[in-house]
Amino acid sequence: MSTSEDVSPRRIGVIGGGITGISTAHFLRKDGHDVTVFDPGDPGTGTSSGNSGVISTGSVVPTATPDILLRVPKMLLDPYGPLSVRWRYLLRIAPWLLSLVRNGMPDRIEANAKAKAALLDHAYDAYRVMLADTGTSGFVREIGTMAVWESDAAWQNAQWTIDLMRTCERKFDLLSEDDIRQMEPGLQPIFKHGYFVPGNGAISHPGDLVTALHADFIAQGGTIVKQPVDRIERIDGAARRLVTGDTAHDFDILVISAGAWSNNFLKQIGHSVLLDAERGYHIMLPQPEPGLNRPILIAQDTMFMSPMAHGMRLTTGVELAGTEAPPDYTRARRMVSRAARAVRNLDETEQSAWLGFRPSTPTSVPILGAAPGEKNVFCAFGGGHIGMTLGPISGRVTADLVAGRDPGIDLSRYAVSR
């Protein structure tokens, strides 16, 4: 990559090599910076590998919903519901949950949705640029996504979602029962209502895409250190040193992009945000025939069915239990029979099961921008359910901030101190 004429090259350390970290590293290298990414895991194996594989510019609806006050008690009593909390983790998650409930108020829902929308408006453009730069465009098809409902009552209850999407100026088409059958003959003929978001894309293999981005970053002169960062240290009052084991690495700029673990590093420089891991599960199944043409949200079962290069992926559920508790695949496996009810000729043979950790704020709005009072520390994390979608735009914005360019987005709503 050639050095940008108007940017002074700097040594930059990026903590985290998921989609946001590697996207940030890409755009920083594009500006000519000397960039090192720190991640102890293999590329394409973390949270960025196990999602539904959707570039979802229409996903403005926050986790906090109008009925969240009713849903939280159910979460506590039903460990296998669409939202569940492990009792041992309840005390630790309590501040996050209280904020989630407060953000279920109508005015906050709309404000948070609009904040998400403002980033999503630029998300696909950033993806296209990065994919073209790295020769990875073949991983993504711009085929749209669909959401479907079985019953009239459930569809009626979902109208607030439709209204919110309209308020946030999302482009979508309402679908009749016949529309659904014609567009997706691989679905069972049980769905009466739905919508189609033409501006969404599908990633054929999220893990392989992230792996390819890592390989391109190295080919373009970037460095990856496969060790955990133990701590951030200050040099002459500025947070510029990363310590891995017995080794110190000094930089001009640091970027915290460590997903669900990001707040641990933010605390080391005197700041903190409400961030927790929304644990998400998926089950890989064989690809059925005729199969699905695009990722589909089976709304009443709260599960995504995503056709991928290596099979059919069922993603479902949110569990609040931190990053240390062992996985519990019970609910995800239970949903396989529901998936077979929705998709024709679905083979229920499990190919693999997976757990990942979505870095989520109770507002569903990510953290993006400079750390307060730190001229050389930038944050890019908290994408939650749309982290895969927001990775490249978060990286592009961070590169703009490092270069002193106007990112073209009001970042006040994403600030650490908001």
Q: Can you give the residue ranges of every domain in the chain?
A: 11-66+104-414
Digit-coded pLDDT (tens) for 87-119:
899 999 999 999 999 999 999 999 999 999 999
Digit-coded pLDDT (tens) for 212-259:
999 999 999 999 999 999 999 999 999 999 999 999 999 999 999 999
| Cα–Cα distance measured from residue 417 to residue 367, given in angstroms and rounded to the nearest whole number | 9
Q: How confident is the model at residue 69 (pLDDT cuts 50, 70, 90)?
A: confident
Q: Is the pLDDT of residue 5 over 70?
A: no
Angle at 410 between CA 168 and CA 272, to 5 degrees: 100
Digit-coded pLDDT (tens) for 343-376:
999 999 999 999 999 999 999 999 999 999 999 9
Q: Compute CA 339 distance to the chain's CA centroid, rounded to the nearest angstrom.
A: 23
| Cα–Cα distance measured from residue 252 to residue 171, given in angstroms and rounded to the nearest whole number | 42
Q: What are phi and psi of 389, to 5 degrees?
A: -70, -40
Q: Is the pLDDT of residue 72 over 80?
A: no
| Cα–Cα distance measured from residue 23 to residue 398, given in angstroms and rounded to the nearest whole number | 10
Digit-coded pLDDT (tens) for 285-297:
999 999 999 999 9
The tokens describing 250, both together, are: 């000094």
Q: What are phi and psi of 107, to 5 degrees?
A: -65, -35
Q: Is the pLDDT of residue 49 over 50?
A: yes
Task: Write the CATH number of the domain with boundaries 11-66+104-414.
Answer: 3.50.50.60
